[in-house]
Amino acid sequence: METFFATLVSASLIVTWFGAGEATPERIALLYPSCSNGLRYEASAASNAMTLETAELKPFGRAETGWRVYAAQAGATIGTACAPDTKRFASQLAKWQSRHRIKPTGAMSEPTLAALKQVWQGARPFIAAFAEGSCPAPAADHDLADAKPREGWLGKQTELDADALKALRKMVAAARAEDRRIARDKQMLTIVSAYRSPEYDAARCAGGKCNGIAKAKCSAHRTGTAVDLYVGAAPGFSPVSSDDKNRLHQTKTPTYRWLVANAARFGFVNYVFEPWHWEWAGDEVQLAAKPRIGTALPGRAH
């Protein structure tokens, strides 16, 4: 886990270096001139360019086409800012595959994406508790704090674990200070949803307003440390729509890219299937945890 978060923190240096400017391929090339170098991984890069858009995959149990929606997180995890269709990305992926006992081809594959998912899911405290065989207990009222109306998406009233809320405020302030594109839109990183009681979720799902029965039985939002943040939305979609078009749009926003590179600094980890969903683990717990590669973890619990 130390390696996982160290990679994310190092990625934050890239965002800091770019500052308010856009992370264009040309600017990335100044830091990573070797993104397109190396004949050894030419075939792997070509394969990644194709599968990025066409591979039929089910990493989280639902059929998806391509893995571009996971490309930003994959790059951060393997330690590269290069685009997913470059030779440098393939080279870094091969090294990561080798460390995780996967044939080091440098090409994204179903086993590789499954291993990446294990790392991502293993970083979530909710999944760690879930894997122990029981649903985490709901947050106690005295542990919750009210967010300010301006902190809620469109003024929505929400509450969150008090320590998680403090960490979130620090993270939002840093994001707005470090990237003026985020600062320009006051709705960016506002809270769409935070603590939800099991009773509220059950009633909500009974009315058909959630994505599946698992959400009603055990949602990460019951812990008070899970928060859905506004990271943008595709035209015509809710900011928490799991439609693939919306998810892909969100992963391309400066806000999401900043979170991928920097959220670990503040103790937050992403449920990668949902670009908007982040969980606070607390720095010490987060850095002490170890990824459990090869352990079966639930795919869509959130």
Tens digit of pLDDT for each residue in 260-280? 999 999 999 999 999 999 999
Q: What is the DSSP letter of 199?
A: H
Query: Cβ of 102: how many Cβ atoms within 10 Å?
Result: 17
Q: Judge whether residue 9 has pLDDT over 60.
A: no
What pLDDT, on the 0 to 100 scale, is given for residue 206? 73
Query: Among 272, 266, 196, 278, which residue's Cα sits nearest to residue 230?
Result: 278
Report the DSSP beta bridge partners of residue 259.
Answer: none
Q: Judge whether residue 52 has pLDDT over 90.
A: yes
Distance CA 35, CA 217 (A): 45
Residues 77 and 102 in one domain: yes
Burial 62-81 (b: 16+ CB within 10 A, else e): eebebbbbbbbbbbbbbbbb
CATH of the domain at 220: 3.30.1380.10
Distance from chain centroid for Cα 170? 18
Q: Within a domain: residue 141?
A: yes
State the total domains in the chain.
2
What pLDDT, on the 0 to 100 scale, is given for residue 17? 41
Residues 205 and 267 in one domain: yes
Residue positions counted in the chain? 302
pLDDT digits (tens, 9 = 90+) for 116-148: 999 999 999 888 887 777 888 899 999 999 999
Residues 117 and 149 in one domain: no
What pLDDT, on the 0 to 100 scale, is given for residue 216? 55
Q: Within a domain: residue 6?
A: no
What pLDDT, on the 0 to 100 scale, is given for residue 292? 32
Mean pLDDT of the chain: 84
Residues 40 and 158 in one domain: no
Residues 147 and 46 in one domain: no
Which residues, at least 6 apart from 279, have a Cβ–Cβ distance to it below 8 Å?
A: 124, 125, 126, 220, 223, 225, 226, 227, 268, 269, 270, 271
- Between the alpha carbon of residue 251 and those of residues 33, 114, 270, the distances in Å are 24, 19, 12
Q: Within a domain: residue 128?
A: no
What pLDDT, on the 0 to 100 scale, is given for residue 38? 66
Poorest-pLDDT segment among 85-94, 205-214, 281-290: 281-290
Q: Within a domain: residue 219?
A: yes
Considering the entire predicted model, what is its pTM? Answer: 0.81
User: Whole domain around residue 278: which residue ranges?
Assistant: 135-288
State which of 38-42, 244-248, 288-292 shows the largest mean pLDDT: 244-248
In the block, tokens 């919306």 appear at 246
Query: Cβ of 50: how many Cβ atoms within 10 Å?
Result: 14
Residues 113 and 180 in one domain: no
In the block, tokens 């990679």 appear at 7
Q: Give 294's pLDDT tier (boundaries 50, 70, 90).
A: very low
Distance from chain centroid for Cα 132? 23
Q: What is the DSSP letter of 102?
A: S
Q: Within a domain: residue 216?
A: yes
Residues 165 and 61 in one domain: no
Query: Among 173, 271, 183, which residue's Cα sits nearest to residue 226?
Result: 271
Residues 144 and 278 in one domain: yes
Residues 186 and 275 in one domain: yes
Query: Among 93, 90, 81, which residue's Cα sits nearest to residue 30?
Result: 81
Residues 99 and 149 in one domain: no
pLDDT digits (tens, 9 = 90+) for 199-250: 877 777 776 666 554 555 788 999 999 999 999 999 999 999 999 999 999 9
What pLDDT, on the 0 to 100 scale, is given for residue 130? 77
Q: Within a domain: residue 175?
A: yes
Which among 98, 122, 146 is the end of a domain? 122
Residues 108 and 140 in one domain: no
